[in-house]
Structures are given as C-alpha cells and as structure tokens.
C-alpha cells in the first residue's frame, strides 16, 4: 500500500478520491484551502488514522514543497483548482494562479522530493467546441475559456516534467462529472447538481434549449476509481486520456429520472438555449481502457438514483 498526496482533497472529486484510496488501504495526506471544498466532505475520511488534512493554499510558494517533503508520497493526485469556467472568465488572474501556478509548484515539489507519479485533473474543456464526435485525444485543442487554456497549459507543464525523467504523469480529461457533494451554488454549476437541488426543494427546473442536448455524464465514483488506478497501478507510462463513458445522455433523459422520483414537482420550464452552449459532447473512452485498464461502470440512471437517495 502506498502513500498518496491529494491536492483539493476536500473538494467534490478530491473527497471521493480520498475515500477510495483509504478504502483500498492507502495512506493519504490531503491539502485544501477550503475555498470551494468543504471539511464535511471528508467526515468519514477524517475518522481514519491513515488520513491527515492540511488547510493551506497550494498556489502559495513553499506550501507544497513543505508538505511533500514531510510526507514523502509515492504519488500526487493534483485536483486543487479553480473549478468554475465562468469564474475563470471573470477573474483570469485567479484562474492562472490556481490552475497554472499551482501545477508548476506540484511539478517542482515532485521533482525536488523524488515523487514518482502525478495524476492531474484535466478537462474536456481543452477541446473547446468541437463537432467531430466522439472526441478522441488526438482532436484539435481549441479551448474557449481561460479555464480550458489553463488545463491545457498544465498538461504541458507536467508532461514536460515527466519527459525530463523519473516521473510518470497521467492527465485525466474529465467529461461531465456528477454525483454527491457537487456544489449547486451558482447558475453555472453542473446541471445535475442544480437539478438535484431544485427537485429536492420541490421546484421546477429550467431547461435551456429543447433538452435534446447531450453530454457524456460520468459518475464521480468512476472518476475516483480512475484516479486511484492511475496513482497506484504498476507499469503505467505518461500520457493523457479522456475519462468518460462514451455514452451520450440527453437532458430530457436526466429530467425523466428526476421526474420519476419526484412526481409532485411541476414539469420543467423551457428557456432559450444559453449563448455559447454546445449541443452535443461525447468522449471516446478507448484510450483510458488501453492505457489504464479503466472503463466507466456506473450507469447514469443508477448514479442519478444514488444521488437522489443521498441525504
């Protein structure tokens, strides 16, 4: 069993990844500044003697170096980020600090302290608005937001560090991740987290467009499993891979599942499509299967059911 360092451990994906690492018997050291993460996401993890959490900002010089030097992990799973595309547009300097500078500091700390592997939270946002579906890793990279640009730059920083030797880097290009602990706070949060909150409150959801737009929605449990595989499996080589299901789910499909659980909630309100919205997004999952042995397992309807039943 290994020692794994997780940045953004109190976040949506970070907390599920931490839970899974602990369940598999690893020792985990997490860091989070609790800006968008929450200590309550780690309620179970914090009961484990194999887990510790530092409350600190990984983009601040010296923080990562100090924590990595002390813990001496075999791998770093770098999930700390500014997670809102909208916020990256409003505050590009903050996006750069949290999504690029922090990555440089992760790479530097790994090299300074002999960490052998980094797993990085990249995003389908690096592809931009492509209509050539399903999207393969070879597709043109044309990010249309500071967020997407920063994720692409971070991949480059980490893969260059790996090319210098002694380090394996796996960049995970997540598609539309959903599940328990995702924050529905803003109108730009992930659509499923917003719908979940609205149905719980007994209020109708708003569908922008006709609801026939599709996304490659993937359960956070599958994403956490992909992270753990990439951090702990032997024999991996550096590279990038989509983390997706390869299956398209429409918003109407999603609404149908919620509606069946909440028959008393009024039907959705229809509103004009959001400007800049893409109609369809779908990833090719084959490379993750070939290079990591990872394939998504949780059907969307089942994961939605779990989310709806969760407290």
Question: Which residues contact ligand UD1 by CB under 6 A?
Answer: 85-86, 125, 176, 188-191, 194, 205-209, 213, 215, 251, 274, 277-278, 281
> Rounded to an integer, what distance in angstroms lies between the CA atom of residue 101 and that of residue 86?
19
* 139 close to 124: Cβ distance less than 8 angstroms: no
DSSP 60: S
Q: Which is nearer to ligand UD1, 27 or 137 (CB)?
A: 137
Token pair, residue 142, equals 């044309």
Q: Please tell me the distance from the alpha carbon of residue 246 to that of residue 244, in angstroms, as a whole number.
A: 6
Q: Tell me whether strands 75-78 and 51-55 are parallel, antiparallel or unpaired.
A: unpaired
The DSSP-derived string for 103-125 is: HHHHHHHHHHTT--EEEEEEEGG
CA dihedral (182, 184, 190, 196) positive or negative: positive
8 Å CB contact between 39 and 63:
no
Contact 243, 294 (CB under 8 A): yes
**Identity of the residue, 115 or 220, whose beta carbon is nearer to ligand UD1 in the bound complex:** 220
CB 53 within 8 Å of CB 42: yes
CB nearer ligand UD1, residue 19 or residue 196: 196
C-beta of residue 155 within 8 angstroms of C-beta of residue 126: yes
Q: Which is nearer to ligand UD1, 277 or 297 (CB)?
A: 277
Nearer CB in complex with ligand UD1: 48/206: 206
Q: How far is the CB of 83 from ligand UD1 (least distance, A)?
A: 8
Count of alpha carbons within 13 Å of 147, Cβ hemisphere only? 18
Q: Which of 127, 147, 174, 199 is catalytic?
A: 147
Minimum distance from residue 17 beta carbon to ligand UD1 (Å):
18
Closer residue to ligand UD1 (CB): 168 or 193: 193
Half-sphere exposure of 104 (CA within 13 A, CB side): 11
Q: In what order do the strands lie in the sheet with 51-55?
A: 51-55, 27-32, 3-7, 75-78, 117-123, 168-174, 239-243
Is residue 147 part of the annotated active site? The answer reads yes
Minimum CB distance to ligand UD1, residue 209 (Å): 6
By annotation, the residues acting in catalysis are 147
């Amino acid at each position: 069993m290994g020692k794994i360092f997780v940045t953004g451990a109190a976040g949506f994906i970070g907390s599920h990844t931490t839970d899974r690492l602990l369940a598999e018997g690893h020792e985990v050291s997490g860091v989070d500044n609790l800006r968008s993460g929450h200590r309550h996401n780690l309620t179970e993890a914090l009961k484990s003697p194999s887990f510790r959490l530092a409350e600190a900002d990984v983009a601040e010089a010296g923080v990562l170096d100090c924590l990595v030097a002390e813990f001496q992990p075999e791998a770093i799973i770098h999930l700390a980020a500014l997670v809102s595309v909208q916020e990256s547009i409003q505050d590009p300097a903050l996006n750069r600090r949290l999504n690029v500078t922090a990555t440089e500091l992760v790479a530097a700390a790994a090299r300074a302290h002999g960490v052998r592997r980094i797993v990085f939270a990249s995003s389908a946002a690096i592809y931009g608005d492509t209509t050539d579906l399903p999207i393969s890793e070879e597709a043109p990279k044309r990010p249309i937001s500071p967020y997407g640009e920063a994720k692409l730059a971070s991949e480059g920083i980490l893969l260059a560090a790996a090319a210098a030797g002694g380090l394996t880097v796996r960049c995970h290009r997540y598609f539309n991740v959903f599940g328990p602990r995702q924050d529905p706070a803003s109108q730009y949060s992930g659509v499923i987290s917003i719908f979940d909150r609205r149905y719980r409150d007994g209020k109708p959801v708003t569908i922008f467009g006709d609801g026939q737009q599709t996304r490659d929605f993937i359960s956070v449990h599958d994403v956490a499993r992909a992270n753990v595989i990439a951090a702990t499996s032997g024999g991996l080589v550096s590279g990038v891979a989509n983390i997706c299901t390869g299956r398209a789910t429409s918003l109407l499909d999603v609404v149908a599942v919620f509606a069946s659980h909440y028959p008393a909630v009024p039907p959705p309100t229809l509103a004009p499509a959001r400007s800049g919205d893409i109609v369809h997004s779908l990833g090719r999952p084959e490379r993750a299967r070939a290079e990591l042995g990872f394939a998504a397992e949780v059907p969307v309807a089942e994961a939605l059911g779990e989310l709806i039943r969760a407290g």
